[in-house]
Chain A
Amino acid sequence: MTPDPPSKTDPPSKTILISGASGGVGRGIAVACGEAGWTVWLAARRRPEGDAVAAEVDRAGGTGRFVACDVADADSVQAAVDTVIEESGRLDGLVHNATSGYSSIPRSIGDVDLDEIEDQVAVNLRGLYLLGTAAFEQLRLAGGSVVVLTSEAGFEGKPLLPAYAVAKAAQRGIVRVLAREWGSSGIRVNCVAPLSSSPAMDRYFEDPVNKARVLGRIPLGRLGDPHADIGPAVRFLLSDDARFVTGQTVMIDGGSCPIT
Protein backbone atom coordinates (compact mmCIF):
# COMPACT_ATOMS: atom_id res chain seq x y z
CA MET A 1 0.00 0.00 0.00
CA THR A 2 1.34 3.43 -0.88
CA PRO A 3 1.62 5.65 2.18
CA ASP A 4 0.02 9.06 2.32
CA PRO A 5 2.09 11.81 0.70
CA PRO A 6 4.13 13.92 3.10
CA SER A 7 2.41 17.02 4.42
CA LYS A 8 3.69 20.39 3.23
CA THR A 9 4.34 21.50 6.76
CA ASP A 10 4.69 19.72 10.06
CA PRO A 11 1.96 20.20 12.65
CA PRO A 12 2.76 23.22 14.82
CA SER A 13 2.02 21.16 17.90
CA LYS A 14 5.18 19.06 17.70
CA THR A 15 6.72 18.68 21.15
CA ILE A 16 10.42 17.93 21.55
CA LEU A 17 12.58 17.09 24.55
CA ILE A 18 16.29 17.91 24.29
CA SER A 19 18.84 16.80 26.89
CA GLY A 20 21.84 18.98 27.63
CA ALA A 21 20.07 21.93 26.08
CA SER A 22 21.28 24.70 28.38
CA GLY A 23 24.07 25.75 26.01
CA GLY A 24 26.29 24.85 23.08
CA VAL A 25 24.94 22.51 20.43
CA GLY A 26 21.81 21.78 22.47
CA ARG A 27 20.95 25.45 22.50
CA GLY A 28 21.36 25.65 18.73
CA ILE A 29 19.06 22.68 18.20
CA ALA A 30 16.48 24.14 20.55
CA VAL A 31 16.36 27.50 18.78
CA ALA A 32 16.19 25.83 15.35
CA CYS A 33 13.22 23.76 16.55
CA GLY A 34 11.66 26.90 17.97
CA GLU A 35 11.81 28.47 14.53
CA ALA A 36 9.47 25.70 13.35
CA GLY A 37 6.94 26.78 15.97
CA TRP A 38 7.48 23.69 18.08
CA THR A 39 7.30 23.32 21.83
CA VAL A 40 10.81 22.63 23.02
CA TRP A 41 11.51 21.19 26.46
CA LEU A 42 15.04 21.95 27.58
CA ALA A 43 16.17 19.16 29.88
CA ALA A 44 19.26 20.19 31.80
CA ARG A 45 20.68 20.44 35.28
CA ARG A 46 21.17 24.21 35.35
CA ARG A 47 17.94 26.20 35.52
CA PRO A 48 19.24 29.75 34.87
CA GLU A 49 20.93 28.74 31.62
CA GLY A 50 17.95 26.57 30.67
CA ASP A 51 15.52 29.41 31.24
CA ALA A 52 17.67 31.69 29.09
CA VAL A 53 17.57 29.22 26.19
CA ALA A 54 13.82 28.81 26.69
CA ALA A 55 13.45 32.54 26.22
CA GLU A 56 15.45 32.30 22.99
CA VAL A 57 13.12 29.56 21.76
CA ASP A 58 10.16 31.84 22.52
CA ARG A 59 11.74 34.68 20.55
CA ALA A 60 12.36 32.31 17.63
CA GLY A 61 8.63 31.60 17.39
CA GLY A 62 8.31 28.43 19.45
CA THR A 63 7.50 27.69 23.05
CA GLY A 64 10.50 27.08 25.26
CA ARG A 65 10.17 25.26 28.58
CA PHE A 66 12.82 24.23 31.06
CA VAL A 67 12.67 20.93 32.94
CA ALA A 68 15.31 19.87 35.46
CA CYS A 69 16.98 16.62 34.43
CA ASP A 70 20.09 14.65 35.24
CA VAL A 71 20.23 12.10 32.43
CA ALA A 72 22.25 9.63 34.50
CA ASP A 73 19.57 9.49 37.21
CA ALA A 74 16.56 7.25 36.53
CA ASP A 75 14.15 9.10 38.80
CA SER A 76 15.15 12.46 37.38
CA VAL A 77 14.67 11.29 33.78
CA GLN A 78 11.27 9.75 34.52
CA ALA A 79 10.16 12.91 36.30
CA ALA A 80 11.22 15.04 33.35
CA VAL A 81 9.32 12.90 30.84
CA ASP A 82 6.27 12.85 33.15
CA THR A 83 6.37 16.64 33.35
CA VAL A 84 6.42 16.96 29.57
CA ILE A 85 3.42 14.66 29.20
CA GLU A 86 1.47 16.32 32.01
CA GLU A 87 1.95 19.79 30.60
CA SER A 88 2.18 19.26 26.83
CA GLY A 89 0.16 16.07 26.53
CA ARG A 90 2.47 14.45 23.98
CA LEU A 91 6.06 13.84 22.98
CA ASP A 92 6.96 13.77 19.28
CA GLY A 93 10.72 13.91 19.45
CA LEU A 94 13.62 13.15 21.74
CA VAL A 95 17.14 14.51 21.28
CA HIS A 96 19.90 13.07 23.46
CA ASN A 97 22.58 15.71 23.32
CA ALA A 98 23.98 15.73 26.86
CA THR A 99 27.61 14.70 27.05
CA SER A 100 30.22 14.15 29.73
CA GLY A 101 32.32 16.94 31.13
CA TYR A 102 35.35 14.77 30.37
CA SER A 103 34.70 14.99 26.63
CA SER A 104 37.18 17.80 26.00
CA ILE A 105 39.91 16.56 28.34
CA PRO A 106 42.62 14.82 26.31
CA ARG A 107 43.95 11.60 27.85
CA SER A 108 45.74 8.63 26.34
CA ILE A 109 44.48 5.12 27.03
CA GLY A 110 47.18 4.69 29.68
CA ASP A 111 45.75 7.57 31.70
CA VAL A 112 42.06 6.74 31.42
CA ASP A 113 40.57 5.76 34.76
CA LEU A 114 37.24 4.47 36.00
CA ASP A 115 36.03 7.93 37.01
CA GLU A 116 36.19 9.07 33.39
CA ILE A 117 34.81 5.81 32.01
CA GLU A 118 31.88 5.88 34.42
CA ASP A 119 31.02 9.48 33.63
CA GLN A 120 31.18 8.95 29.86
CA VAL A 121 29.08 5.80 30.12
CA ALA A 122 26.56 7.31 32.54
CA VAL A 123 25.86 10.48 30.55
CA ASN A 124 26.13 9.20 26.98
CA LEU A 125 24.83 5.64 27.30
CA ARG A 126 22.83 5.29 30.50
CA GLY A 127 21.25 8.62 29.57
CA LEU A 128 20.17 7.13 26.25
CA TYR A 129 18.80 4.03 27.98
CA LEU A 130 16.87 6.00 30.60
CA LEU A 131 15.50 8.59 28.19
CA GLY A 132 14.64 5.98 25.57
CA THR A 133 12.81 3.63 27.92
CA ALA A 134 10.99 6.46 29.70
CA ALA A 135 9.86 8.09 26.44
CA PHE A 136 9.17 4.99 24.35
CA GLU A 137 5.41 4.73 24.89
CA GLN A 138 4.79 8.41 24.20
CA LEU A 139 7.00 8.31 21.11
CA ARG A 140 5.08 5.26 19.91
CA LEU A 141 1.76 7.05 20.34
CA ALA A 142 3.08 10.05 18.40
CA GLY A 143 4.94 8.13 15.69
CA GLY A 144 7.95 9.98 16.99
CA SER A 145 11.62 10.42 16.21
CA VAL A 146 14.79 10.11 18.26
CA VAL A 147 18.06 11.85 17.42
CA VAL A 148 21.28 11.07 19.28
CA LEU A 149 24.24 13.43 19.08
CA THR A 150 27.27 11.31 18.43
CA SER A 151 30.67 12.36 17.06
CA GLU A 152 33.23 11.67 14.38
CA ALA A 153 35.17 10.21 17.31
CA GLY A 154 32.81 7.27 16.97
CA PHE A 155 34.25 6.58 13.51
CA GLU A 156 37.90 7.56 13.73
CA GLY A 157 40.66 6.60 16.09
CA LYS A 158 41.13 9.43 18.58
CA PRO A 159 44.38 8.73 20.42
CA LEU A 160 43.64 11.26 23.15
CA LEU A 161 39.91 10.74 23.54
CA PRO A 162 39.50 6.96 23.90
CA ALA A 163 36.72 6.94 26.52
CA TYR A 164 34.74 9.57 24.59
CA ALA A 165 35.25 7.67 21.33
CA VAL A 166 34.07 4.44 22.94
CA ALA A 167 30.89 6.09 24.26
CA LYS A 168 30.11 7.77 20.94
CA ALA A 169 30.65 4.60 18.92
CA ALA A 170 28.51 2.67 21.39
CA GLN A 171 25.71 5.18 20.86
CA ARG A 172 25.83 4.56 17.12
CA GLY A 173 25.62 0.84 17.64
CA ILE A 174 22.64 1.16 19.96
CA VAL A 175 20.89 3.54 17.58
CA ARG A 176 21.19 1.09 14.70
CA VAL A 177 19.63 -1.63 16.84
CA LEU A 178 16.88 0.71 18.07
CA ALA A 179 16.02 1.66 14.50
CA ARG A 180 15.36 -2.03 13.81
CA GLU A 181 13.51 -2.67 17.07
CA TRP A 182 11.36 0.47 17.04
CA GLY A 183 10.59 0.67 13.34
CA SER A 184 7.52 -1.51 13.75
CA SER A 185 6.28 0.94 16.40
CA GLY A 186 6.60 3.82 13.96
CA ILE A 187 9.53 5.39 15.77
CA ARG A 188 12.56 6.52 13.79
CA VAL A 189 16.01 6.63 15.43
CA ASN A 190 19.03 8.39 13.95
CA CYS A 191 22.36 9.93 14.91
CA VAL A 192 23.90 13.25 14.02
CA ALA A 193 27.67 13.66 14.20
CA PRO A 194 28.38 17.38 14.36
CA LEU A 195 31.67 19.18 14.24
CA SER A 196 30.57 22.39 15.83
CA SER A 197 31.68 25.29 17.89
CA SER A 198 30.80 24.65 21.53
CA PRO A 199 32.16 25.53 24.96
CA ALA A 200 34.18 22.29 24.91
CA MET A 201 35.61 23.06 21.47
CA ASP A 202 36.38 26.62 22.52
CA ARG A 203 38.49 25.23 25.36
CA TYR A 204 40.20 22.80 22.98
CA PHE A 205 40.98 25.64 20.57
CA GLU A 206 42.79 27.61 23.25
CA ASP A 207 45.81 25.66 22.02
CA PRO A 208 46.51 27.09 18.52
CA VAL A 209 48.01 23.77 17.43
CA ASN A 210 44.72 22.03 18.13
CA LYS A 211 42.81 24.73 16.28
CA ALA A 212 45.02 24.55 13.19
CA ARG A 213 44.87 20.77 13.14
CA VAL A 214 41.07 20.64 13.31
CA LEU A 215 40.34 23.43 10.87
CA GLY A 216 42.98 22.21 8.43
CA ARG A 217 41.11 19.00 7.75
CA ILE A 218 37.67 20.53 7.18
CA PRO A 219 37.02 21.13 3.47
CA LEU A 220 34.62 23.95 4.29
CA GLY A 221 37.32 25.52 6.47
CA ARG A 222 35.30 26.28 9.59
CA LEU A 223 33.42 24.74 12.46
CA GLY A 224 29.68 24.35 12.23
CA ASP A 225 27.40 26.83 13.93
CA PRO A 226 25.08 25.16 16.48
CA HIS A 227 22.06 27.19 15.41
CA ALA A 228 22.62 27.70 11.68
CA ASP A 229 24.30 24.40 10.76
CA ILE A 230 23.57 21.70 13.35
CA GLY A 231 20.09 22.70 14.50
CA PRO A 232 18.40 22.52 11.07
CA ALA A 233 19.82 19.04 10.41
CA VAL A 234 18.45 17.74 13.70
CA ARG A 235 15.14 19.51 13.05
CA PHE A 236 14.93 17.74 9.69
CA LEU A 237 15.42 14.33 11.30
CA LEU A 238 12.74 15.14 13.86
CA SER A 239 10.34 16.35 11.19
CA ASP A 240 7.93 14.42 9.02
CA ASP A 241 10.13 15.27 6.02
CA ALA A 242 12.49 12.56 7.29
CA ARG A 243 9.75 10.00 7.78
CA PHE A 244 11.62 7.31 5.79
CA VAL A 245 15.02 7.95 7.40
CA THR A 246 16.06 5.70 10.27
CA GLY A 247 19.17 3.96 11.57
CA GLN A 248 21.44 6.54 9.95
CA THR A 249 24.27 8.76 11.10
CA VAL A 250 24.29 12.16 9.41
CA MET A 251 27.66 13.87 9.44
CA ILE A 252 27.28 17.65 9.88
CA ASP A 253 30.98 18.38 9.87
CA GLY A 254 31.92 20.43 6.81
CA GLY A 255 33.28 17.29 5.16
CA SER A 256 35.78 16.54 7.92
CA CYS A 257 34.97 12.84 8.20
CA PRO A 258 33.30 11.44 5.10
CA ILE A 259 31.82 7.99 5.66
CA THR A 260 33.29 5.57 3.14
Chain B
Amino acid sequence: MGILVIGQDDPPTRQLQGALAADHLLAFPALAAPGDSWAWGWRDDLERWERQAAELGRFDSVVVCCWDAVEVAVQFVDLSPRAWLEHLERRLALWMIAAKVGVGRCADGGSLVMVVERPAALDTLGRSALVGAAEGVLSLSRCMAASEGRRGVRVNAVATELWTVPDELLGPAPALTSFPGRVDAEVAGAVRMLLSDDAVGVTGSVSTPDGGRAA
Protein backbone atom coordinates (compact mmCIF):
# COMPACT_ATOMS: atom_id res chain seq x y z
CA MET B 1 0.00 0.00 0.00
CA GLY B 2 1.13 3.64 -0.05
CA ILE B 3 2.29 5.52 -3.13
CA LEU B 4 4.07 4.01 -6.14
CA VAL B 5 5.82 6.31 -8.60
CA ILE B 6 6.60 4.89 -12.03
CA GLY B 7 8.99 6.88 -14.21
CA GLN B 8 12.48 7.67 -15.35
CA ASP B 9 15.06 7.40 -12.57
CA ASP B 10 16.14 11.02 -12.91
CA PRO B 11 16.25 14.10 -10.65
CA PRO B 12 12.78 15.51 -11.50
CA THR B 13 11.06 12.19 -10.91
CA ARG B 14 13.02 11.66 -7.71
CA GLN B 15 12.02 15.16 -6.66
CA LEU B 16 8.35 14.39 -7.22
CA GLN B 17 8.73 11.11 -5.36
CA GLY B 18 10.23 12.99 -2.42
CA ALA B 19 7.58 15.69 -2.40
CA LEU B 20 4.85 13.05 -2.35
CA ALA B 21 6.69 10.96 0.25
CA ALA B 22 6.16 8.04 -2.11
CA ASP B 23 7.33 4.69 -0.86
CA HIS B 24 8.60 3.23 -4.09
CA LEU B 25 10.00 4.30 -7.46
CA LEU B 26 9.61 1.77 -10.23
CA ALA B 27 12.16 2.99 -12.77
CA PHE B 28 11.58 2.69 -16.49
CA PRO B 29 13.78 0.10 -18.18
CA ALA B 30 16.92 1.03 -20.08
CA LEU B 31 15.83 0.51 -23.67
CA ALA B 32 18.20 -0.34 -26.50
CA ALA B 33 18.82 2.71 -28.68
CA PRO B 34 16.78 2.97 -31.87
CA GLY B 35 18.58 1.43 -34.82
CA ASP B 36 18.81 2.74 -38.36
CA SER B 37 15.56 1.05 -39.38
CA TRP B 38 12.00 1.63 -38.23
CA ALA B 39 11.94 -1.71 -36.40
CA TRP B 40 11.18 -1.48 -32.70
CA GLY B 41 14.39 -3.22 -31.61
CA TRP B 42 13.69 -2.42 -27.96
CA ARG B 43 10.43 -4.40 -27.66
CA ASP B 44 12.08 -7.24 -25.73
CA ASP B 45 13.38 -4.80 -23.09
CA LEU B 46 9.92 -3.37 -22.57
CA GLU B 47 8.12 -6.70 -22.44
CA ARG B 48 10.64 -8.02 -19.90
CA TRP B 49 10.15 -4.94 -17.71
CA GLU B 50 6.38 -5.30 -17.87
CA ARG B 51 6.58 -8.92 -16.72
CA GLN B 52 8.88 -8.01 -13.83
CA ALA B 53 6.72 -5.07 -12.77
CA ALA B 54 3.66 -7.30 -12.58
CA GLU B 55 5.25 -9.00 -9.58
CA LEU B 56 5.04 -5.83 -7.46
CA GLY B 57 2.31 -5.58 -4.86
CA ARG B 58 -0.69 -3.23 -4.93
CA PHE B 59 -0.64 0.44 -3.92
CA ASP B 60 -3.38 2.86 -2.88
CA SER B 61 -1.93 5.51 -5.14
CA VAL B 62 0.07 5.29 -8.34
CA VAL B 63 1.76 8.14 -10.21
CA VAL B 64 3.05 7.52 -13.72
CA CYS B 65 5.58 10.18 -14.72
CA CYS B 66 5.62 10.57 -18.49
CA TRP B 67 8.31 13.22 -18.77
CA ASP B 68 10.60 13.56 -21.76
CA ALA B 69 12.91 16.44 -20.87
CA VAL B 70 13.93 17.46 -24.39
CA GLU B 71 15.27 20.99 -24.22
CA VAL B 72 15.85 21.59 -27.93
CA ALA B 73 12.87 22.38 -30.15
CA VAL B 74 13.02 20.94 -33.69
CA GLN B 75 10.50 21.69 -36.43
CA PHE B 76 8.52 18.72 -37.76
CA VAL B 77 10.13 18.76 -41.21
CA ASP B 78 13.59 18.73 -39.64
CA LEU B 79 12.91 15.85 -37.25
CA SER B 80 15.07 12.85 -38.11
CA PRO B 81 13.46 9.41 -38.19
CA ARG B 82 15.61 8.55 -35.18
CA ALA B 83 14.26 11.54 -33.23
CA TRP B 84 10.72 10.62 -34.20
CA LEU B 85 11.26 7.07 -32.99
CA GLU B 86 12.89 8.26 -29.79
CA HIS B 87 10.50 11.02 -28.79
CA LEU B 88 7.19 9.83 -30.17
CA GLU B 89 7.01 6.12 -30.96
CA ARG B 90 9.23 4.89 -28.13
CA ARG B 91 7.76 7.31 -25.60
CA LEU B 92 4.18 6.40 -26.41
CA ALA B 93 4.91 2.69 -26.24
CA LEU B 94 6.80 3.05 -22.97
CA TRP B 95 4.16 5.25 -21.39
CA MET B 96 1.28 3.02 -22.48
CA ILE B 97 2.95 -0.03 -21.01
CA ALA B 98 3.79 1.96 -17.86
CA ALA B 99 0.14 3.01 -17.58
CA LYS B 100 -0.92 -0.60 -18.01
CA VAL B 101 1.48 -1.59 -15.22
CA GLY B 102 0.21 1.30 -13.09
CA VAL B 103 -3.42 0.25 -13.45
CA GLY B 104 -2.46 -3.28 -12.55
CA ARG B 105 -0.62 -2.13 -9.43
CA CYS B 106 -3.39 0.22 -8.25
CA ALA B 107 -5.63 -1.27 -5.57
CA ASP B 108 -9.40 -1.21 -5.89
CA GLY B 109 -10.67 2.15 -4.68
CA GLY B 110 -7.28 3.72 -5.33
CA SER B 111 -6.17 6.64 -7.43
CA LEU B 112 -3.82 6.93 -10.40
CA VAL B 113 -2.33 10.13 -11.81
CA MET B 114 -0.54 10.42 -15.14
CA VAL B 115 1.93 13.33 -15.28
CA VAL B 116 3.08 14.59 -18.67
CA GLU B 117 4.79 17.63 -20.16
CA ARG B 118 2.32 19.35 -22.50
CA PRO B 119 3.14 23.00 -23.26
CA ALA B 120 0.47 25.60 -23.86
CA ALA B 121 -0.56 26.03 -27.50
CA LEU B 122 1.49 29.19 -27.94
CA ASP B 123 4.63 27.37 -26.82
CA THR B 124 4.47 24.32 -29.10
CA LEU B 125 6.69 25.36 -32.02
CA GLY B 126 9.20 22.59 -32.61
CA ARG B 127 7.40 20.26 -30.23
CA SER B 128 5.28 18.10 -32.54
CA ALA B 129 6.58 14.76 -31.25
CA LEU B 130 6.36 15.78 -27.62
CA VAL B 131 2.88 17.29 -27.95
CA GLY B 132 1.64 14.29 -29.92
CA ALA B 133 2.87 11.91 -27.26
CA ALA B 134 1.47 14.12 -24.49
CA GLU B 135 -2.00 14.28 -26.02
CA GLY B 136 -1.86 10.50 -26.34
CA VAL B 137 -1.13 10.18 -22.63
CA LEU B 138 -3.98 12.54 -21.71
CA SER B 139 -6.34 10.50 -23.89
CA LEU B 140 -5.12 7.30 -22.27
CA SER B 141 -5.90 8.69 -18.83
CA ARG B 142 -9.48 9.36 -19.94
CA CYS B 143 -9.78 5.82 -21.30
CA MET B 144 -8.50 4.36 -18.04
CA ALA B 145 -10.84 6.57 -16.02
CA ALA B 146 -13.73 5.07 -17.98
CA SER B 147 -12.54 1.48 -17.63
CA GLU B 148 -11.31 1.49 -14.02
CA GLY B 149 -14.20 3.37 -12.44
CA ARG B 150 -16.11 0.14 -12.00
CA ARG B 151 -13.61 -0.93 -9.33
CA GLY B 152 -13.55 2.50 -7.73
CA VAL B 153 -10.22 3.56 -9.21
CA ARG B 154 -9.95 7.22 -10.19
CA VAL B 155 -7.62 8.19 -13.03
CA ASN B 156 -6.60 11.79 -13.69
CA ALA B 157 -3.77 13.65 -15.38
CA VAL B 158 -1.48 16.56 -14.66
CA ALA B 159 -0.12 18.49 -17.65
CA THR B 160 3.06 20.41 -16.89
CA GLU B 161 5.08 23.02 -18.74
CA LEU B 162 8.51 22.80 -17.16
CA TRP B 163 11.12 22.11 -19.87
CA THR B 164 9.41 23.40 -22.99
CA VAL B 165 9.17 27.08 -22.09
CA PRO B 166 10.44 29.05 -25.11
CA ASP B 167 13.14 31.67 -24.63
CA GLU B 168 10.67 34.32 -25.71
CA LEU B 169 7.01 33.95 -24.76
CA LEU B 170 4.39 34.80 -27.38
CA GLY B 171 1.14 36.45 -26.36
CA PRO B 172 0.20 37.57 -22.88
CA ALA B 173 2.38 36.72 -19.92
CA PRO B 174 1.19 33.87 -17.67
CA ALA B 175 -1.18 35.01 -14.95
CA LEU B 176 1.15 33.92 -12.16
CA THR B 177 4.72 35.16 -12.07
CA SER B 178 5.72 31.82 -10.55
CA PHE B 179 5.45 30.28 -14.05
CA PRO B 180 6.68 27.67 -14.93
CA GLY B 181 6.67 26.54 -11.31
CA ARG B 182 8.53 23.73 -9.62
CA VAL B 183 8.20 19.98 -9.45
CA ASP B 184 8.17 19.91 -5.65
CA ALA B 185 5.65 22.75 -5.31
CA GLU B 186 3.11 23.38 -8.08
CA VAL B 187 3.33 19.97 -9.75
CA ALA B 188 3.45 17.93 -6.55
CA GLY B 189 0.55 19.97 -5.19
CA ALA B 190 -1.68 19.14 -8.16
CA VAL B 191 -0.76 15.46 -7.97
CA ARG B 192 -1.30 15.36 -4.21
CA MET B 193 -4.73 16.95 -4.57
CA LEU B 194 -5.83 14.45 -7.23
CA LEU B 195 -4.59 11.52 -5.14
CA SER B 196 -6.35 12.77 -2.02
CA ASP B 197 -9.85 12.04 -0.79
CA ASP B 198 -10.69 15.67 -1.51
CA ALA B 199 -10.84 14.60 -5.16
CA VAL B 200 -13.13 11.66 -4.42
CA GLY B 201 -15.50 12.59 -7.25
CA VAL B 202 -12.84 13.61 -9.77
CA THR B 203 -11.84 11.24 -12.54
CA GLY B 204 -10.93 11.69 -16.20
CA SER B 205 -9.77 15.25 -15.55
CA VAL B 206 -6.62 17.15 -16.53
CA SER B 207 -5.08 19.57 -14.04
CA THR B 208 -2.73 22.18 -15.49
CA PRO B 209 -0.47 23.71 -12.79
CA ASP B 210 1.17 26.12 -15.22
CA GLY B 211 0.46 29.47 -13.61
CA GLY B 212 -2.29 30.12 -16.10
CA ARG B 213 -0.10 29.89 -19.21
CA ALA B 214 -2.60 27.68 -21.06
CA ALA B 215 -5.64 29.54 -19.79
How long is the Cα–Cα vector from A136 to B136 in the complex, in angstroms? 24
Instruction: Please tell me if the beta carbons of B136 and A129 are within 8 angstroms of each other in the complex.
Output: no
| Interface residue? A4 (CB, 8 A) | no
Question: Which of A74, A121, A125, A163 neighbours the largest number of chain B CB atoms within 10 Å of its CB?
Answer: A121
Q: State the majority secondary structure of interface residues on B.
A: helix
How long is the Cα–Cα vector from A244 to B134 in the complex, in angstroms? 27
| Interface residue? A227 (CB, 8 A) | no
Which A-chain residue is minimally distant from B40 (CB atoms)? A118
Which A-chain residue is minimally distant from B78 (CB atoms)? A133
Which B-chain residue is minimally distant from A113 (CB atoms)? B47
Residues of A within 8 Å of B, CB-based: how many? 45
Instruction: Please tell me if the beta carbons of A121 and B93 are within 8 angstroms of each other in the complex.
Output: yes
| Interface residue? A65 (CB, 8 A) | no
Spot the interface stretch: B10-18, B23-31, B96-104, B181-189: B96-104
Instruction: Please tell me if the beta carbons of A176 and B77 are within 8 angstroms of each other in the complex.
Output: no
| Interface residue? A10 (CB, 8 A) | no
If the complex has contacts A162-B144, A176-B124, are A126 and B131 also in contact, measured as CB distance less than 8 A?
Answer: no
A100-127: contact bitstring with B at CB < 8 Å (1 yes, 0 no)? 0000000011101010011001100110
| Interface residue? A132 (CB, 8 A) | yes
Spot the interface stretch: B1-9, B81-89, B171-179, B192-200: B81-89
Which residues of chain A have C-beta atoms less than 8 A from B88's C-beta? 121, 125, 129, 170
| Interface residue? A226 (CB, 8 A) | no
How long is the Cα–Cα vector from A163 to B75 in the complex, in angstroms? 26
A158-180: contact bitstring with B at CB < 8 Å (1 yes, 0 no)? 11111101111111111011101
Which residues of chain B have C-beta atoms less than 8 A from A160's C-beta? 147
Min Cβ gap B190→A in Å is: 20
Instruction: Please tell me if the beta carbons of B93 and A114 are within 8 angstroms of each other in the complex.
Output: yes
Instruction: Please tell me if the beta carbons of B40 and A173 are within 8 angstroms of each other in the complex.
Output: no
Min Cβ gap A120→B in Å is: 9
Question: Which of A108, A157, A167, A180 neighbours the largest number of chain B CB atoms within 10 Å of its CB?
Answer: A157
If the complex has contacts A74-B38, A114-B43, A157-B143, are A178 and B136 also in contact, measured as CB distance less than 8 A?
Answer: no
| Interface residue? B211 (CB, 8 A) | no
Which residues of chain B have C-beta atoms less than 8 A from A168's C-beta? 139
| Interface residue? B92 (CB, 8 A) | yes
Which residues of chain A have C-beta atoms less than 8 A from B138's C-beta? 169
| Interface residue? B207 (CB, 8 A) | no
**Which residue of A114, A117, A165, A172 is within 8 Å of B143 (Cβ)?**
A165
| Interface residue? A181 (CB, 8 A) | yes
If the complex has contacts A125-B88, A165-B140, are A108 and B147 also in contact, measured as CB distance less than 8 A?
Answer: yes
Which residues of chain A have C-beta atoms less than 8 A from B62's C-beta? none
Which A-chain residue is minimally distant from B135 (CB atoms)? A173
How long is the Cα–Cα vector from A216 to B159 in the complex, in angstroms? 33
| Interface residue? B133 (CB, 8 A) | yes
Which residues of chain A have C-beta atoms less than 8 A from B204's C-beta? 157
| Interface residue? A223 (CB, 8 A) | no
Q: Give 9 CB contacts A-B under 8 Å.
A: A110-B103, A112-B100, A121-B88, A121-B92, A159-B143, A166-B143, A174-B131, A176-B121, A176-B124
4 nearest interchain CB pairs? A173-B135, A169-B139, A157-B142, A159-B147
